[in-house]
Chains A and B, each alone.
Chain A
Amino acid sequence: MPVDLDYLAPSDVEDAVALRASRPSAAFLLGGTDLLPQMRSGRRSPETLIDLKRIAELHEIRENADGGLSIGAAVPLADVETHPLVLARFPLLAECAKTVGAWPLRQRATLAGNVCNASPAADTAVALLALDAVVNVASTTGRLAMAVSELFLGPGQTALMPGDLVTEVVLPGSAAGFRGSYQRLSRRKGMDLATVGVLVGKRDGARPSWRVALAAVAPTPLRVRAAEELLEAKGATAAREAAELAVAACRPITDLRGSAEYRREMVGVLVRRGVESLG
């Protein structure tokens, strides 16, 4: 860590945004579970850390008029995965959040942090993508909302501009009620990055809706709308076909955790299983 590293802890969003604007080499700090290791490895070298955790509004989980939820940027994953409204309306988010790291890590790691870090293997990003989440962003030009589906550009890259501050992640009421599974293959059952992550969700109704989203098998978390549309048209009996569409959509690489070939096959297996279990 650099000896001249500076640290500021503003108490409101506008201050934080202004501070960041005046310090181009600053970085926002939430849980620090990605940022600190990245600073140690030299991957990132901010000269100032702007800690957002003293900003009260970022700690709230609010119910919105449309039945959705706004989750403040500083809310740790451990609180997200146990929140009654998350469990009731967006259980898939809790399912995914529970797989991140281990319990103590989730006392610090945040949804906003996961999103901004933009790892292709980000388990929570998969859920946010599937649930049509939106991030609210504050910047020097004011506040705006950005769909998570527009957010991820590549490994570690988002559409956010330098200085943008994610204030909350919003789950729309229209995405409430999806149930299903997040299946994950990793080298061990304990804390590990996903080799392959597959979310399959279904919302019952006159015309059931489906969600299929993948982690760790493309440069970004991936939603497979073609598979969703197929399932909406044909139901769970189209499990194999849907799985094939997911396989066709993914672009995995070979790395320490698995080969591209294995990952591709596993996408097919897990999507099929995920759909069949909801049939």
Chain B
Amino acid sequence: MSAPVVGTDVPRVDGLEKVTGAAKYTADLKFPRLLHVAVVRSPHPHARVLDVKTEKAARMPGVRALASGRDFPLHTGIYLKDQTVFATDRVRFVGDPVAAVAAETPELAAEAAAQVHVEYEPLPPIFDVEEGFAEGAPLVHPDLGSYEVVPWIRPKAGTNVCNHLKIRKGDYAAALKGSWKVFENVFRVPQVQHVPMEPHVSVARVDLAGKVEVHSSAQSPFTVRHLLAHCFGLPHGDVRVHVPYVGGGFGGKAGINLEPIAVALAMRCRGRWVRLMVDRHEEFFATVVRQGLTATLVTGVDRHGKVQAQKMHYLWNCGGYGGYGVNIVRSAGYTCGGAYEFPNVEGDSIGVYTNRPVGSAYRGFGMQEIHWALEQQMDRVAVELGIDPAEFRLKNCLGAGKSTVTGQVLDEHAGRVDLCIRNVAKAIGFDADRERTPYRGKGIACAVKAPAMPNDAASSVIMKFAEDATLEILISGIDYGQGLMTVVAQFASEALDLPVEKIRVKGCPDTDLSPYDWQTVASRQTWATGNAVFRAASEIRGKLCATAAEALDVPAEELTLREGCVVHEATGRSLPFERLVMGYQFPDGHAIGGPVAAASSYLPEGLLFLDPETSQSAKPVAKWTFGAQAVEISVDPETGQVTVEKVAACYDVGKVVNPALIKGQTYGGIVQGLGTGTMEELVVDTKTGRATNASLMDYKIPSTEDVPAEMVVDFVETAQKDGPMGARGIGEHTMIPTPAAIANALWDACGVRISEMPVTAEKVWRALKAKERAERGEGVAGEAPVPAGTIA
């Protein structure tokens, strides 16, 4: 075997395309006589749709297609089918699509869209999740009980609850009663937006034979195909989805998004390509956002600082539709214990419809939100008990032999959060007796997540050789930055002892030609597609050796692969792949074998449904990735400005496949965590329902000048038993604990707690003022409310 490839800094295999500008993203693709789309969107957060008049618009110059709700009344949604292509009888958020126009130019489309006349009857809107949850609240989905839904999601008809997951482990009530001290706190997280650098865009054509073809910036070509086929009543084989390069997804391009509208219009102008692009403004409120959360936590501890009773009550602000969001409600529910063992648990994770933008998958899938609450709660308990926060975590954290909130007992392969905690505590200098400087502080937070996916979510891979023995690997996992294509090349290189230069990963899938993949979400691709790669490689190896064995007249078992050759060690004879991949020809002319190719897949094994009442399950998820971050901050006490000076991160990833790429994922996650933690919030005006900061001028994400001066990242490698070379996932985890770590550091620095994200200067300033007043005996310490309309 030559030098290992996995574990080294192999340069990105798609890097050259990207640095030269050669990489084509969806909006870069050229189509003949392309039509442009303008969408008619609801200006009301909640209203009945009485009438949609499109006749005038239809007669406008350049208009080639029009579609509205009554044309496509079928419901769609990945888990809960609560949304139609266009709103039919009701609109549920400002921006809800009501109709759309395809015309020869964007200007003509916009002019025609302005001539679509919609008659609305406004209904009382709900923006607040407690309001939506309260008895007697106006119903956002009165027909909730009639929607098609997968069996493991439980909407409550006649309410605004789109899902409710219950965790009941042990005897919470008794354990709470027997606790030495009890702590109850409420934490809040607003909606935020993914802000991918590439806004959503989809292009569709329905040809004269009725076949649908789509090019889309998407994370899940097969899910798009599946849901389009269902929505439009077509056989899957007549729907073709291409995904070119994708400029960031972060969950926002998972499931299905703009494609149904593009296809609906394309059906009305057969043979023409139709492109729907959202501009940055619409990207903020008319695609998808991350759900908001109000979390109430109750923790009962014993005298030794061990948590005995834990209650989590989550109200998720799902926005107008919850087709995807219901799974966040669920997976956050069964992960509500975070990185800790809680012996007695009462958990309720409840998704609530409101008339806000649509909450959907976002990097972390509920994890950053619940860790914001849980990690601050653990910190508060530790501080109150006088236990060092790192020690408290080590005392209560999960590990081999310990059980999660669903009763799953972890084994020694599960990943070592304890090592991660120790690692970051050391890296940040988190000693209990560390020197204290006023207004400087250190905070620590753990993270954990498992893929939230159906128990049968699979990935597959096709491998084939070109005549020059280049190995081509077809995948349908999307590399939208995380490095999947490179990881796949490394795995294949390692498995077949073939240099990476001889491998080409075809990572821009076409559902007609590429192998099935469930979705690129859930930090599952390295693991699932990786496993499929090793399986396919094994088949390839078998075929190469079988042909070579016959060619060399030796037993196949005596053959090995080395540097692109099949080698018979005993005699030193070998055959390069070039002589085998198209079959082998003997000296006398007769040929054996044939083009060498293999297809394989990976489906998670042994995953068991959660009990519907208690969510107990011995194996609810495929794998857990644990980690921790520690941060050091400084606070300007007069302005409240928080500077994150240093972040230390450590994750047990099972196997570091590519150090440079995994560091990049970690730096990027930390910075995205810093963004949501300190500066991001989608502000919705509760009088109009409109997002008031839907632009990059008003919604800020971190720039080069906002990055911590120092980021130190490290990894533990406790092999994942069923992972490719022991690897598990990391894509989402890197942003999970950052905001909580900052909030905990803030407490350490100056004794104030911010329980609602983001931690802004003004919030800190107000909290410090309130603290000062309390110390002077003038009022109650805690947070002072910030005027509505500000994020600060």
Contacts and interface: CB of A to CB of B under 8 A. Distances in A.
A90 to B, nearest CB: 25
Interface stretch (A54-62, A216-224, A253-261): A253-261
Contacts of A262: 762, 765-766, 792
A258 B706 contact: no
Interface string A191-223: 111010000000000000000000000000000
A188 B700 contact: yes
Contacts of A189: 703, 705-706
Interface in A241-279: 254-259, 261-262, 265-266, 269
Interface in B774-792: 786-787, 789-792
Contacts of B683: 256
A185 interface: yes
Contact of B761 (A185, A193, A254, A256): A185
A142 interface: no
B790 A255 contact: yes
Contacts, number: 63
A193 B697 CA distance: 8
Nearest to A254: B787
Contacts of A265: 765
A190 B760 contact: no
Main SS of the interface on chain A? loop
B762 A258 contact: yes
Nearest to B640: A262
B13 to A, nearest CB: 31
Contacts of A192: 700
A24 B790 CA distance: 39
A185 B641 contact: yes
Interface in A130-175: none
B703 A256 contact: no
Nearest to A193: B697
A102 B720 CA distance: 45
Nearest to A196: B639
B693 interface: yes
Report which residue of A3, A189, A269 has the largest number of chain B beta carbons within 10 angstroms of its beta carbon.
A189
Contact of B692 (A102, A187, A254, A256): A256
B interface residue count range (under 10 / 10 to 19 / 20 to 34 / 35 or more): 20 to 34
B792 A188 contact: no
B648 to A, nearest CB: 21
B316 to A, nearest CB: 25
B310 to A, nearest CB: 35
Given A258-B762, A265-B765, A188 B787 contact: no
Contacts of B384: none
Given A256-B692, A256-B698, A269-B638, A190 B703 contact: yes
B668 to A, nearest CB: 16
Interface in B689-743: 692-693, 697-698, 700, 702-706
Given A190-B703, A262-B762, A257 B641 contact: no
Given A188-B703, A190-B704, A259 B790 contact: yes
Nearest to B766: A262
A114 B789 CA distance: 27
A177 B693 CA distance: 41
A130 B683 CA distance: 35
Contacts of A195: 792
Interface residues of A, number: 22
Contacts of B639: 185, 266, 269
Contact of B679 (A187, A255, A258, A266): A187
Nearest to B697: A193
A45 B704 CA distance: 35
A256 B107 contact: no
Interface string B626-666: 00000000000011010000000000000000000000000
A35 to B, nearest CB: 15
A269 B768 CA distance: 15
A258 B792 CA distance: 5
Interface in A1-30: 3
Interface in A72-93: none
A192 B698 CA distance: 8
Contacts of A256: 683, 692-693, 698, 789-792
A186 B215 CA distance: 40
Nearest to A258: B792
Given A254-B787, A265-B765, A190 B705 contact: yes
Contact of B107 (A3, A102, A193): A3
A209 to B, nearest CB: 27
Contacts of A3: 107
B703 A187 contact: no
Contacts of A102: 703
Contacts of A188: 679, 700, 702-703, 705-706
Contact of B762 (A191, A259, A269): A259
A25 to B, nearest CB: 19
B285 to A, nearest CB: 15
A187 B638 contact: no
B700 A258 contact: no
A187 B641 CA distance: 9
Contacts of B761: 185, 187
12 contacts: A187-B791, A188-B702, A189-B705, A190-B705, A192-B700, A193-B697, A254-B787, A256-B683, A257-B792, A259-B762, A269-B638, A269-B639
Interface of A: 3, 102, 185, 187-193, 195, 254-259, 261-262, 265-266, 269
Closest 7 pairs between A and B when the two form their complex, measured CB to CB: A190-B703, A189-B705, A190-B705, A269-B638, A262-B762, A258-B792, A259-B787
Interface of B: 107, 638-639, 641, 679, 683, 692-693, 697-698, 700, 702-706, 760-762, 765-766, 786-787, 789-792
